Structure 1
Amino acid sequence: MKKSSYEYKLNNVDSPNFYKNIFPYDEIPKINFNGVQIPKDLPENIYITDTTFRDGQQSMPPYTTEQIIRIFDYLHNLDNNSGIIKQTEFFLYTEKDRKAAQVCMERGYEFPEVTSWIRANKEDFKLVKQMGIKETGMLMSCSDYHIFKKLRKTRKETMDMYLGIVKEALDNGIRPRCHLEDITRADFYGFVVPLVNKLMELSKQSGIPIKIRACDTLGLGVSYSGVELPRSVQAIMYGLRNNCGVPSECIEWHGHNDFYAVVNNSTTAWLYGASAVNTSFLGIGERTGNCPLEAMIFEYGQIKGNTKNMKLEVITELSEYFKKEMEYAVPPRTPFVGKEFNVTRAGIHADGILKDEEIYNIFDTDKILGRPVVVAVNQYSGHAGIAAWINTYYRLKDEEKIDKWDTRIAKIKEWVDEQYKAGRTSIIGNDELELLVDKMLPDISQKKEERAS
């Protein structure tokens, strides 16, 4: 990408710019439009990076070494050497985390590559050198909220500090990944662009790529066209590509879900110039969470038309591991991983599924995720709902399927109706329905036993 000939210089202001016209704090944030239309710039190669062991872990009870290694193996199996899940990042502060990172490196997997995360100081950097890790992320807060209020420095002092730690990384042959924290509240052309231009100069001098991770720390990014900086995801990507000359393969987007926009913003970052989006499994992360890794796998598949040779059924296996081993409660209607994400209760939907599950199922969830479509039975299900439950629960195919007009279905329907006449309010459980099928349709139960054996 050709860099703009205009030279952006650091605006070392005496007083901070908090964009109070956009972020008044005592009101919800504002979206200002300027009408500028930015062209799409989808890179040829896009991929996913993972922060389950960094941003994800700090939002959960600390993971054990064994849990980290097991999850890492799951991520590798999910990627299946497709290179779509390209990297994952580790903390290095505790003996437990260092041991886990070491074991994962010793696995010898190409994907995901083990990287680290540190604060921008020399003491943290020593840990990276000791571990022999090839790439490290380093925190570079870039909004005046952080520069003036947290770091208590000037913009120039902050920039000099960041450049110093990057130089040390380069001197040691380590790839720096610069985490531009709070970029969606930062003075983009007064601080971000001058900083990134300096980083690109260092990259050119050293011959080592420097990655730029644009961090939407509070989920304030906006994906719509014609939005003003600093909130515009499109404009941020455009500026990094065109005003700083950052190659797409060196741009990542790291989003949060505070305003329900994390998936849209991440996809927009891809579409407008970033090769990578940063995610965590199940979206576990600070406050409302990070971008869910599983969501971006399906975004990738829709954009690229395939997911290469990924094993998407591992998404189901890993989510079950989090539920059982980590005791993590996944909301039941969470897309792709919730226990009810492909469950239908509406009678008219059940009738459609009875005729052909393509009518009301998003894709072949059984084939792709190992999650057959399920019909819940309640007072509204009717004959079709009960027949659909039997067909989906017992995985009956073609001529094996039970028709809603089967007289045995009517007997089960009578039992269900009596339950709700007696005041029941909950759905009919699978275990209850199994007993009814054992009694009314023993041939169906026999088929289930045969499949299990």
Structure 2
Amino acid sequence: MIEFNKKSNTLEQTQYKYALQDISEPNLYRDIYNYDDVPKCAFNHRKVPMYPADEIWITDTTFRDGQQSRAPYTVEQIVKLYKYLHQLGGPKGLIRQTEFFLYSDKDKEAVYKCMELGYDFPEITSWIRASKSDFKLAKEMGMKETGFLVSCSDYHIFRKLKMTRKQAMENYLSVIKEAINVGIRPRCHLEDITRADFYGFVIPFALELRKLMDESGVPIKIRACDTMGYGVSYPGVALPRSVPGIIYGLKHHAGFPSELLEWHGHNDFYKAVSNSSTAWLYGCSAVNCSLLGIGERTGNTPLEAMVFEYASLRGTTDGMDTRIITEIAEYYEKELDYEIPPRTPFIGKNFNVTQAGIHADGLLKDEEIYNIFNTDKLLNRPIGVAITQTSGLAGIALWINNYFRFRGNDLIDKKDERVGKIKEWIDAQYQAGRITSISNNEMLKGIREIAPDIIPS
């Protein structure tokens, strides 16, 4: 059959039919995933069209996946972070949802406390086991949507669940029907999709979900889970690792609209952010993230990274308050005792700090030369300079101007004789054998002793 696609303005074939391939032995893609080798990246040079959705947004898993790799948050900490997510998402609610566990009394209390705030966004959703008792619990707690695992690779179906593909599909569908029967929207987490037989299981299963959705009138979401971080975004890369191919297939062959598709990535191969952006570009509306990227093993896609990816792709923050990111980072370090690697983009203490004297000289003349964007305006983080033996007069002047927030006529020039005296004090320390940088507190103490009139009254 041929139909006219209004999006592409072309005639397209629609007779693709993919039936479940209920094989007797698992397909483990050993040519790609030989456990004793680095996973291989195969190409078939088939390219799919890039169709970004009309709307894209962020969802959060800080209180679910994010809690599986660190000490559990207290109720008070969860409420505080939930408030931050609400502020960061802005009036349009671009951080659309966040998911919670429901099992312990602490989990339940955190959900109720967050619900009491009355925020529309992020919507509170749950993650539960696929059982009748858990569905009942989710319903009693007022959940409108919940997620649960529907593992889709043969690694999981054959080796973990000890089922055939047909048995797994039938089991999953019965659970999803149960969720619908108790009035909860199902969100199906297709675990390990980047090692799954896409046309032999994923698409046939998605087609059954689509049929169930049409019959019941209840929307069913698919979360494509790159559980091991194997996804790649290169044009022409072959399935099962192709992020463009996965999103295109779920839309084109299974008929799922963008707003019911979500990407959940891990960072095992440093690809979490690029894969999430690619999912957006190829038609997935939602990308699932966690604050600071905290999650299983190497972590999830950092939520703060996708805030800036959104602005980069759409040309606007659409009301997201990016300055909240700095508050979140400070809260993690001061209140949660979490050590952020200093070179982490956007949140690390050194992400916009220079140590090179020649760079400091350029920043002193025009910060745009060496700063990625106006970090003072967008993150409430003015450019910084670490004082070492290589900082020079320019670095010292820059440190003074930034630390005291001098502007206009108050700016200190690197030729100021007071800067020269401070440099002599710094040089003397390194000549005496010092190898570490000079801290802000040390600089402040030195200025008080050498040039106290610099310090604003």
Q: TM-score, normalised by structure 2?
A: 0.96
Q: 1:116 aligns with which of 126, 151, 169?
A: 126
**Matching residue of 1:407:** 417
Q: Which residue identity does 1:144 align to in structure 2?
A: D
CA deviation vs aligned residue, 1:395-452 (integer Å, no higher than 9, x gap): 111221111111111111111111111100001111121123223433331x2x4xxx
Shift of 1:20: 0.3
1:307 aligns with 2:332: no
**Aligned mates of 2:25, 2:187 — CA distance in 1:** 29
Q: 1:168 aligns with which of 162, 166, 178?
A: 178
In the TM superposition, 1:240-389 aligns within 5 A as 240-389=250-399
Are the equivalent residues in 1 in contact too, given 2:232–2:242 (CA < 8 A)? yes
CA deviation vs aligned residue, 1:107-137 (integer Å, no higher than 9, x gap): 1101100000112222322221121200001
Q: Which residue identity does 1:37 align to in structure 2?
A: K
**Matching residue of 1:438:** 448
**Matching residue of 1:181:** 191
In the TM superposition, 1:73-112 aligns within 5 A as 73-112=83-122
1:42 aligns with 2:44: no
**Matching residue of 1:65:** 75
Q: 2:164 aligns with which of 154, 162, 170?
A: 154
SS in structure 2 of the partner of residue 227 of structure 1: coil
Shift of 1:192: 0.3
Are the equivalent residues in 2 in contact too, given 1:81–1:110 (CA < 8 A)? no
Shift of 1:173: 2.3
**Aligned mates of 1:360, 1:101 — CA distance in 2:** 44
Are the equivalent residues in 2 in contact too, given 1:3–1:241 (CA < 8 A)? no
**Aligned mates of 1:371, 1:61 — CA distance in 2:** 28
Are the equivalent residues in 2 in contact too, given 1:3–1:242 (CA < 8 A)? no
Are the equivalent residues in 2 in contact too, given 1:55–1:285 (CA < 8 A)? yes
Shift of 1:366: 1.2
**Aligned mates of 1:349, 1:357 — CA distance in 2:** 9
**Matching residue of 1:134:** 144
In the TM superposition, 1:176-215 aligns within 5 A as 176-215=186-225
Are the equivalent residues in 2 in contact too, given 1:394–1:444 (CA < 8 A)? no
Are the equivalent residues in 2 in contact too, given 1:143–1:183 (CA < 8 A)? yes
Shift of 1:3: 8.9
Are the equivalent residues in 1 in contact too, given 2:221–2:262 (CA < 8 A)? yes
Q: 1:29 aligns with which of 28, 34, 39?
A: 39
**Matching residue of 1:237:** 247
Greater CA drift, 253-262 or 396-405: 396-405
Q: Which residue identity does 2:15 align to in structure 1?
A: S
**Matching residue of 2:408:** 398
Are the equivalent residues in 1 in contact too, given 2:268–2:297 (CA < 8 A)? yes
Note the residue ranges of structure 1 that are not aligned, 5 or more in a row.
none
Residues 1:175 and 1:400: Cα distance change in structure 2 (over 3 Å):
same
Shift of 1:99: 1.2
Runs of 4+ aligned structure 1 residues displaced above 3 Å come to 1-4
**Matching residue of 1:13:** 23
**Aligned mates of 1:73, 1:122 — CA distance in 2:** 32
Q: What is the aligned residue count?
A: 447
**Aligned mates of 1:352, 1:96 — CA distance in 2:** 52
Are the equivalent residues in 2 in contact too, given 1:237–1:273 (CA < 8 A)? yes
Are the equivalent residues in 1 in contact too, given 2:231–2:242 (CA < 8 A)? yes
**Matching residue of 2:154:** 144
**Aligned mates of 1:82, 1:311 — CA distance in 2:** 11
CA deviation vs aligned residue, 1:239-288 (integer Å, no higher than 9, x gap): 00100000000000000000000000000000001000000000000000
CA deviation vs aligned residue, 1:332-362 (integer Å, no higher than 9, x gap): 1101111111110011110011101111111
Q: Which residue identity does 2:265 align to in structure 1?
A: G
Are the equivalent residues in 2 in contact too, given 1:78–1:315 (CA < 8 A)? yes
SS in structure 2 of the partner of residue 59 of structure 1: coil
CA deviation vs aligned residue, 1:73-113 (integer Å, no higher than 9, x gap): 11111113221100000001111101111221221101100
Q: Which residue identity does 2:448 align to in structure 1?
A: D
Are the equivalent residues in 1 in contact too, given 2:86–2:93 (CA < 8 A)? no
**Aligned mates of 1:237, 1:146 — CA distance in 2:** 21
Shift of 1:172: 2.2
Greater CA drift, 75-84 or 141-150: 75-84
Q: Which residue identity does 1:340 align to in structure 2?
A: N
Q: Which residue identity does 1:140 align to in structure 2?
A: V
Q: Which residue identity does 1:303 align to in structure 2?
A: L
**Aligned mates of 1:22, 1:4 — CA distance in 2:** 30
CA deviation vs aligned residue, 1:144-170 (integer Å, no higher than 9, x gap): 000000000010110001101111111
**Matching residue of 2:63:** 53
**Aligned mates of 1:66, 1:162 — CA distance in 2:** 35
Q: TM-score, normalised by structure 1?
A: 0.97
RMSD in angstroms over aligned alpha carbons?
A: 1.2
